[in-house]
Chain A
Amino acid sequence: MIKINNLQARVEDKEILKGINLEVNPGEIHAIMGPNGSGKSTLSSVIAGREDYEVTGGSIDFEGEDLMDLDPEERAHKGIFLSFQYPVEIPGVTVSNFIKTAINESRKGRGEEPMKAREMLAKMREKTALLEMDKSYLSRSLNEGFSGGEKKRNEIFQMAMLEPKLAILDETDSGLDIDALRIVAGGVNKLRTADNAVVVITHYQRLLDYIKPDFVHVLFNGKIVKSGGPELAHELEEKGYDWIKAENA
């Protein structure tokens, strides 16, 4: 689905990604772990097409197409979704209006008709129920006055509505209490199909108890320095990141 080859990127003069290689296939869940400042969030931003980062080398191929020439919204239309670590507030724009605009703009981008109002409503109802959200969420201003947990849940709600092929969850577990974590992770699991893929970016093993990864990668100093199965996450949890740092010092 996505093939990242020797990806290098910097922000201003600071080199952050120093040659990332990663391949994710449909149906797979990958976890990317690593200490603070290792480049995890940069990687997700670069995949999503954020302009602040300058890609200095390598390539990202998504379903056979080079992503580099595409605007962020075009990448979204192709089915790339990023759950933000810090979702932004947009005062005065309701959750339902925002998601309606997002869905219909994406459909327009793909040359499809807008979704019928009734279908949209039914879908919103279904997905709020899936994430155990009160319907009143829909009429609140996007992320304005939301608690940390509500913001994250709202991200997954949008993911559920947009049905992306590739979802990147950037620190979705931060700010969540244990109940919210269970609900959010449960939502992600229910949205899994053989055709879509998830990349989970996290510091901690805890989220991976709920969203079980097929592969775990350790990102350190701009490079993936270790890859393995789910057991690698446990090992990290037990030993911390110091041994990784020591190995790559």
Chain B
Amino acid sequence: MSDEILDEITASDYKYGFTTDIESDTVPPGLNEDVIRLISEKKNEPQWMLDWRLDAYKTWLAMVEPEWHNVTYTKPDFQAVSYYSAPKQKKELDSLDEVDPELLRTFERLGISLDEQKRLSGVAMDVVVDSVSVATTFKKTLAEKGIIFCSMSEAIQEHSELVRKHLGTVIPKRDNFYAALNSAVFTDGSFCYIPKGVRCPMELSTYFRINEANTGQFERTLVIADEGSYVSYLEGCTAPSRDENQLHAAVVELVAMDNAEIKYSTVQNWYPGDAEGKGGVFNFVTKRGICERNAKISWTQVETGSAVTWKYPSCILKGDNSIGEFYSVAVTNNYQQADTGTKMIHLGKNTKSTIISKGISAGKSHNSYRGLVRVGARAENARNFSQCDSLLMGDQCGAHTFPYIEAQHPTAQIEHEATTSKIGEDQIFYCNQRGIGTEEAIALIVNGYCKDVLNQLPMEFAVEAQKLLEVSLEGSVG
């Protein structure tokens, strides 16, 4: 097969590139203590929250932007970013009828009709457009079980003590440059609390969108699963086309107490920039969970967007017998760069972790897996299995693997497997011969390659993710 076919296949325009006209209330660009005070005041926050933000800001000022990752980009000008943007409509909504119709249309164009979601899949969604939540559904059902699922702003008002107790406990303010920045200026995000022994009856889902030009997104998410509880949380993102780079630095913290389980799934499709590598979202995210005794955290992610991705959803296996899992598909095309992976920190006895990473590189993109498995001095019988596969399309892209292993206990068992493959002409011809066109064939092969990860996603999300993979790699047909 000639390279032209691959070029054609991989030269796909971003299909979700459009903007909606929703009036926004935006703070002028720039960052200083006054801006932070303004954000806190606009959100009517308690004093402790403001103090926390200011402390984070001071920490951030003393930090430098990291450079160890395998990506190159022009560093954002933090004084050119606007740190707060909210759709003007801010009143509480009880039903979708009250949501701005323009916004609903946006979701429909993305194939994410809230109505459909509500009716068909029983998903309660906390929709975040830019920084403020505008619709929350199924709240009542959840409330009956004592489950709290709301925006972070609301949680700071209504569940101040819970937030105060856990915020920053998994990812401290000084954890890294972007986490510190987020801690200072985060505007909204999601908060979730599952009480003791409660199994959350539905998938909790948040759709993020970046909608305001030049607005940095600083989402803050905190999920707390109390003893013996279970929750499956879904996060999905799409963003409109932009010429200028948009900075996104989210922080997600998960707390799984004794015997609790959290399943956190992400489908990420932010604007990756055009075929020449112009524009696109910078995605510098910190995600980490902590497992107490017998607890389990699973991260599943399908990443197809962003110009630059820098993301390592991690697990601290603190409690004995706790389990951490990481399942990832990362697709890069054109000039996209991704440096992504996970950290599994084994501290407790008999802790187990599994890492399945599937990278797909096309165009002129670079895709790196970076993972750390650390077994602490008291982590007797810790086990890890890692599998890192790379799939290359064409001959101008790159796949890189950086596995780090640190074992401080002699009983540790760590396995690492890695493969690199190309979609073969033989495979494509075989599909062609059976009547399957080249584009369909690539979609089929890629989906098969990612199956182990896609299988981890809840059903309705898996279908969407599969579609996204196809869209990300297909040519500009239709």
Which residues from chain A sit less than 8 Å from chain B, CB to CB? 48-52, 71-73, 76-77, 81-82, 84, 87-88, 90-93, 97-99, 101-103, 105-106, 109, 141-142, 158, 162
Contacts and interface: CB of A to CB of B under 8 A. Distances in A.
Given A88-B426, A88-B427, A92-B452, A48 B433 contact: yes
The 3 A-B pairs with the shortest beta carbon distances in the complex, nearest first, are A92-B448, A106-B435, A93-B448
A98 B444 contact: yes
Contacts of B449: 91-92
Given A90-B445, A92-B452, A101-B444, A71 B432 contact: yes
A121 B449 CA distance: 25
B451 interface: yes
A158 B429 CA distance: 15
B429 A50 contact: yes
Nearest to B5: A51
B122 interface: no
Contact of B434 (A51, A71, A91, A158): A158
Contact of B440 (A49, A77, A91, A105): A105
Q: Which of B430, B435, B436, B448 has the most CB of A within 10 A?
A: B435
A166 to B, nearest CB: 12
Given A90-B427, A90-B444, A105 B436 contact: yes
A101 B440 contact: yes
B1 A102 contact: no
Given A51-B2, A88-B424, A105-B440, A93 B445 contact: yes
Contacts of A52: 425
A88 B449 CA distance: 14
B410 interface: no
A102 B424 contact: no
Nearest to A82: B433
Interface of B: 1-2, 424-427, 429-438, 440, 444-445, 447-452
Given A51-B2, A92-B451, A102 B435 contact: yes
B430 A141 contact: no
Contacts of A92: 447-452
Given A88-B427, A93-B444, A98-B444, A162 B451 contact: no
A98 B444 CA distance: 8
A110 to B, nearest CB: 9
B384 to A, nearest CB: 23
Given A91-B449, A92-B449, A92-B452, A76 B426 contact: no
Contacts of A102: 431, 434-436
A172 to B, nearest CB: 15
Contacts of A101: 436, 440, 444
Contacts of A158: 434
Given A51-B1, A73-B436, A92-B450, A87 B445 contact: no
Contacts of A50: 429
A105 B426 contact: no
- Name which of A49, A106, A141, A142 has the most chain B CB atoms within 10 A of its CB: A142
Contacts of A81: 433
B435 A73 contact: yes
Nearest to A141: B448
25 contacts: A48-B433, A72-B429, A72-B433, A73-B436, A73-B438, A76-B435, A77-B435, A88-B426, A88-B430, A90-B431, A91-B449, A92-B447, A93-B445, A93-B447, A93-B448, A93-B451, A98-B434, A99-B434, A102-B431, A102-B435, A103-B435, A105-B435, A106-B435, A141-B448, A162-B434
A160 to B, nearest CB: 13
Given A90-B444, A101-B444, A141-B448, 14 more contacts: A51-B1, A72-B433, A73-B432, A81-B433, A88-B427, A92-B451, A93-B448, A93-B451, A98-B444, A101-B436, A102-B431, A102-B435, A106-B435, A158-B434
